Structure 1
Amino acid sequence: MRESPAIGVTAVTPNRAGSDVASRDGHPERHPRHITASVQQLLNAMKDVPALVQNGRLDVLSSNPLGQALFSEMFEQVAQPPNFARYVFLDPRAENFYRDWNSAAAQTVALLHAEAGRSPDSRQLSAGRAHSNGQQIMP
């Protein structure tokens, strides 16, 4: 778990080995789309704090009710799954949501750059895209 300095939300993130995230064939995957039942149970047990699970592309894989309420604007995105990069850079409401939008934007870019370094063959990341919807979010 980690605490985001921008807003103080606890996020449950899969470890690098992917043991908390399941692919369709049961093997860990680089950019997971699903979480295990035990991780969802952990999220559901966190009743007093907003929590969510995201992958390296900043797609939200799951959240507890408080996490969904806190980031309700992001969950309203037409493109699915909800994605922090799309929200920060493409949703004008994000500038009012974050106390320091410039810091949130810089952290988002840093996270995407780090993931692009771990996954240099990812066309979605190397093209500056958070998702295959084709909307560019980074120069």
Structure 2
Amino acid sequence: MNIVFSLDQIQEVAEQIIASNPKKIILFNGEMGVGKTTLIKQLCKSLGVQDATSSPTFSLVNEYYTSNNQIVYHFDFYRLNKETEALDMGVDDYLYSGNWCFIEWSEKIASLIPEEHSTVTIDLLADGKRNLELV
């Protein structure tokens, strides 16, 4: 799936992603500031998370519950120095839980990512819009 969008269309983009039935582990790739966290916040809302969501930059993972009691994990591995730090926090338990796992900076734990995952890549275009590719 390929979508060109502006940030005011983020709700529709999140709904399209969910409707496309992606794997529950989704990697989010893109430069800093391109909108990965903003999209993840909207995905959480579209899945029924009612609590406030934020980037887990310092905690590495935030856990949210949807209105129908599904769990959504949001990871931000930007500050990770070694994959062993992710193992120490029990990342395998999260990744193989069967719950939604939204992962920013997944390249920091590349060898730990399960084969069954989807990838969202976001690029900033010259006109300020974003190009999103979901595979």
TM-score over 0.5 (shorter chain): no
Which one has more relative contact order, counting CA pairs under 8 Å at least 6 apart?
A: 2
Query: Which structure shows the higher strand fraction?
Result: 2
TM-score of the pair, normalised by structure 1:
0.28
Query: Which structure shows the higher helix fraction?
Result: 1
TM-score of the pair, normalised by structure 2:
0.28
